[in-house]
Amino acid sequence: MKFTTVSVSYSRKFNLGDYESLELGCSLWAQVEDGEDADGITQFLYHQAKTSVKQAAMPVLKASEFQINKVKSSKKVSGDINENYW
């Protein structure tokens, strides 16, 4: 029986405003046996890593005044086309 190891890394940088940022990352590994779906396992690991980074970032982003203002301003203009961008 042959084992293959697959690994996935996911990282994301969040702008906190005032020249501050938060960079988080997650790396996951799995052993894949013959006959198992390596692509499916890789996709699963990717989604797990992405979810882990998002969950770790949420408390900091919720406390960030810059991110709060960013969300509020995007809600005000959602659906509207701003002619200043053209």
Q: Is residue 17 part of a domain?
A: yes
Q: Is residue 86 part of a domain?
A: no
What's the domain range around 63?
Answer: 3-75
The answer to whether 3 and 32 have CB atoms below 8 angstroms apart is yes
Residue 82 in this model has a pLDDT that exceeds 60: no
Task: Pull the structure tokens for residue 37.
Answer: 């779906």
What pTM was computed for the model?
0.73
Q: Is residue 80 part of a domain?
A: no
Q: Is residue 18 part of a domain?
A: yes
What confidence tier does 69 reach under pLDDT thresholds 50, 70, 90? confident
Q: Is residue 82 part of a domain?
A: no
Q: Is residue 36 part of a domain?
A: yes
Query: Based on the structure, what is the number of domains in the chain?
Result: 1
Which one is predicted more confidently, 32 or 73?
32
Q: Is residue 7 part of a domain?
A: yes
Q: Is residue 71 part of a domain?
A: yes
